[in-house]
Amino acid sequence: MAKLKGKALVAQSGGPSTVINSSLCGVVQECMYSPHIEAVYGAHNGILGVLTEDLFDITKEPKDVIEGLKRTPSAAAGSCRYKIKSLKESRKDYERILEVFKAHDVRYFFYIGGNDSMDTADKIVTLAAEMNYDLRVMGVPKTIDNDLAETDHTPGYGSEVKYLATTVMESGRDTEALYTFDTATVVEAMGRNAGWIAAGAAIAHRGEEDAPHLVYVPEIPFSIDRFVADCKDVLKRLGRVVVLAAEGIRDIKGNYVTAQSGKFAKDSFGHTQLGGVAETLKAIIEEEVGVKCRYNKPGTAQRNAMHFASLTDVNEAYLVGAQAVKEAVAGKSGFMITLIRESDDPYQVTTGRANLSVVANGEKYLPRDFMNKAGNHITEKCRRYVTPLVCGEAPITIGADGLPEYVRFKRCPVEKRTGTYKV
Amino acid sequence: MAKLKGKALVAQSGGPSTVINSSLCGVVQECMYSPHIEAVYGAHNGILGVLTEDLFDITKEPKDVIEGLKRTPSAAAGSCRYKIKSLKESRKDYERILEVFKAHDVRYFFYIGGNDSMDTADKIVTLAAEMNYDLRVMGVPKTIDNDLAETDHTPGYGSEVKYLATTVMESGRDTEALYTFDTATVVEAMGRNAGWIAAGAAIAHRGEEDAPHLVYVPEIPFSIDRFVADCKDVLKRLGRVVVLAAEGIRDIKGNYVTAQSGKFAKDSFGHTQLGGVAETLKAIIEEEVGVKCRYNKPGTAQRNAMHFASLTDVNEAYLVGAQAVKEAVAGKSGFMITLIRESDDPYQVTTGRANLSVVANGEKYLPRDFMNKAGNHITEKCRRYVTPLVCGEAPITIGADGLPEYVRFKRCPVEKRTGTYKV
């Protein structure tokens, strides 16, 4: 494959994760190492920054800021949820992207994101080929949801699980101490469609005493009656119950539990109650099980908890970023870097490649045999899969005020070379 | 003061904290060191365990479990919220406590808790004196709320703040990356009556960009109109806003914000909405400010986050526990150990003593000058007070599965010597 000289552009997309900047660091440092890549630009706020030509020169950032990305949560370049549809429907957007690339002699595009991003990247590859524009595009997997096809797991998942499992463990100790008063606790996990996060965090349940005592995922239809029975059963054995539920749990008809459960659903004006799954399950426990219940909703804190991130995850996030650059420089294009698990114990991974289009159209749900028959807790198979991903503690820098020090780009703008574009 | 030989009893009370077991460890290890103390009993679930004579012998626990208490969150002996009233109203309960003490030759009672516990301890002192029963009682301060009188701060507060400030910082990075979509985030802090926790966690705001951008505490009446204006102001400057609010914020009439704000309050059946402050502020932001808002409610996770505890706090919690024993053995009774700040920089503390009755009847609110004039953020004075308390990272043990290892008592029961007692 011929050598390709030019600039690299990197963008981050979708919901942040604890390690998406570790991947960014891998991309940037590897780009700066390559003699073929003349500069690395960042797109401010993902693909929005490309469309509006809002670019900044990462090569001009201080070296310690670039190094500090490894230990900084969320998306330092900025992210977005702007959705570009098919080439047919959104051709104008794709043409605009290529216009910006050409204007800046961008020859390498690295897109860190989930399946929507891989879909966008795939279409950019197609259009560039149509237009005979020499461009290499590589996808870098990122999602706390762990639902990307073709890869054993996704960077972001291990840290999400390490933090959430610890949160559940610690919340469980609270309930254990105060069960004569606060007898039940519900913890809400992220996960609209897939149960990977809730199932992963369930490894905190090392023994019967340990929270979570019950786990619910979107893949298994949720029944209030069974839930009430499950809670009563645990209460009988332990005198307390800690429930871990994915935000996306739904009933047999596919309706989200937050918007389906009779008196817990809407007020008489038809307003949906303010709360989500955690509040709904709390209400069910208090009214149907008859014990006092608390609820914890870590929310976005769970996907940015660099203060207790998985070292395995941080390292793999960096690895897939750097590997994407290596392969692009070597001539590859149109792929997402994947993680291949060579063995569980000792845990070993290598990287592979998957076609962007295959990743774009796949979605990976929690296998049924990762959950027990009753559908209310995980199996050993799940634990074996998850455990290596949360191992190791990633070091962070702590300031003189006792709090983490995270970096921020100064973001030196790249001069615009095209006209304005309305998104 | 005459030497007093006998057993020691220790109990934990009220809401757990990250370091209440560090204090327990201090009590137990110091007791085991003293030749006057023949055994250390724990009351299972606080004063409830005393009343029901549900005691266990801590001296029989493995040494590594006792040592591990230093690094285990929540209340390992169990806690409760059982409230004993005045000597007049609850004399039966107090007499029962003395009955159990006498039956086991308990001569030292250490009570780890907040002002209700100090009140109970104070009355035990009074009744023991009336009955001519030679007993030494010492209080060990514990509350994440930091609202105890007579002490510069309370063990539990520093770790609470370190974790919550970090959570706000990390949630803030999420909003910063995704502001084109999720423009606002509300984080709910504990604190029903006092704003210490929310104000403390506000130190995460090191510069204009840093969350939290707005902070609300119970001591300053909350106005929806001012809140909406505050949010709009921050949005104008930064394009995003992260709000940190204490769960106990209330309006000018003293009504909790969760139960007062018109259409956000109750449904037409008069049911209070399921959610709390965070959900209410989210609704206000979405409907009145007009931007999408997320909310995070760490809930009980924030008072058990040993995985990122303040070393200063852990050490001080141990110190006040051990000091209580030293002073009791030396002849003191009827006091709570206090922390006296000798200097801010370098931070230095010593211990002191306060009369139990004084602590019992006091409550310490956030000083007005810890908040700015607008009542929506902290001052430098607050930052100077809080910062030393969160410094240092407490070491924890991590298991082979990448998660913290916390200890649990096996709880060898002490044989009952009295009849049953109905609580």
pLDDT digits (tens, 9 = 90+) for A266-322: 444 444 445 689 999 999 999 999 999 999 999 999 999 999 999 999 999 999 999
The predicted model gives B380-392 an average pLDDT of 98
Q: Is A393 on the interface with B (CB under 8 A)?
A: yes
The CA distance from B152 to B339, in Å, is 6
The distance of A306 to chain B (nearest Cα, Å) reads 8
How high is the ipTM of this complex? Answer: 0.96
The CA distance from A106 to A94, in Å, is 15
β-bridge pairing B214-216 and B293-296: unpaired
- Looking at every residue in chain A, the average pLDDT score rounds to 95
Global pTM reads 0.96
The predicted model gives A208-235 an average pLDDT of 98
Q: Which amino acid is at A286?
A: E
User: pLDDT at position A276, please?
Assistant: 86
User: pLDDT at position B269, please?
Assistant: 45
CB spacing of B180 vs A279 below 8 angstroms = no
B chain contacts of residue A78, beta-carbon cutoff 8 Å: 176-177
Q: Using 50, 70 and 90 to split pLDDT, how confident is the model at A367?
A: very high
Q: Is A33 a residue whose pLDDT tops 90?
A: yes
Q: Using 50, 70 and 90 to split pLDDT, how confident is the model at B155?
A: very high
- Spell A296-328 as b/e; 16+ CB within 10 A means b: bbbbbbbbbbbbbbbbbbbbbbbbbbbbbbbbb
- Quick check: is B345 catalytic? no
Of A115, A139, A143, A120, whose CA–CA distance to A360 is shortest?
A115
CB spacing of B178 vs A391 below 8 angstroms = no
User: pLDDT at position B361, please?
Assistant: 86
What does the DSSP 8-state code read for residue A309? Answer: -
Q: Is A365 a residue whose pLDDT tops 80?
A: yes
Q: Is B408 on the interface with A (CB under 8 A)?
A: yes
CB spacing of A170 vs B398 below 8 angstroms = no
User: pLDDT at position B380, please?
Assistant: 98
B chain contacts of residue A275, beta-carbon cutoff 8 Å: 273-275, 279
B chain contacts of residue A82, beta-carbon cutoff 8 Å: 180
How many residue pairs from chains A and B have C-beta atoms closer than 8 A? 223
Q: Is B239 on the interface with A (CB under 8 A)?
A: no
B window 138-177, beta carbon within 8 A of A: 162, 165-167, 169-171, 173-177
User: pLDDT at position B259, please?
Assistant: 59
Q: Is B79 on the interface with A (CB under 8 A)?
A: yes
β-bridge pairing B136-141 and B184-189: unpaired
A window 16-35, beta carbon within 8 A of B: 16
3 state DSSP class of B101: helix
Q: Is B2 a residue whose pLDDT tops 90?
A: no
User: pLDDT at position A66, please?
Assistant: 98
The CA distance from B158 to B141, in Å, is 13
CB spacing of B165 vs A403 below 8 angstroms = yes
User: pLDDT at position B258, please?
Assistant: 80
DSSP state string for B200-222? HHGGG--STTSSPSEEE-TTS--
Q: Using 50, 70 and 90 to split pLDDT, how confident is the model at A260?
A: very low
- Spell B124-140 as b/e; 16+ CB within 10 A means b: bbebbeeeeeebbbbbb
Q: Is A397 on the interface with B (CB under 8 A)?
A: no
A chain contacts of residue B392, beta-carbon cutoff 8 Å: 402
Model confidence over A380-398: pLDDT tens digits?
999 999 999 999 999 999 9
CB spacing of A170 vs B304 below 8 angstroms = yes
User: pLDDT at position A111, please?
Assistant: 98
The distance of B219 to chain A (nearest Cα, Å) reads 24
User: pLDDT at position B360, please?
Assistant: 93
Is A81 buried (19+), middle (13-18) or exposed (0-12) by CB count in 10 A?
Answer: middle
Q: Using 50, 70 and 90 to split pLDDT, how confident is the model at A1?
A: low
The CA distance from A140 to A131, in Å, is 24
Model confidence over A58-75: pLDDT tens digits?
999 999 999 999 999 999
User: pLDDT at position A349, please?
Assistant: 98
Q: Using 50, 70 and 90 to split pLDDT, how confident is the model at B267?
A: very low
User: pLDDT at position A259, please?
Assistant: 59
Calculate what percentage of chain B has a pLDDT beyond 90. Answer: 92
CB spacing of B294 vs A300 below 8 angstroms = yes
A chain contacts of residue B73, beta-carbon cutoff 8 Å: 170, 173-174
Task: Find the catalytic residue in B54, B122, B145, B230.
Answer: B145
Q: Is B140 a residue whose pLDDT tops 70?
A: yes
User: pLDDT at position A258, please?
Assistant: 80
Neighbouring residues of B3: CB distance < 8 A, sequence distance ≥ 6: B36
Q: Is A236 a residue whose pLDDT tops 50?
A: yes
Are the beta carbons of A104 and A55 closer than 8 angstroms?
A: yes
Residues of A designated catalytic: 145
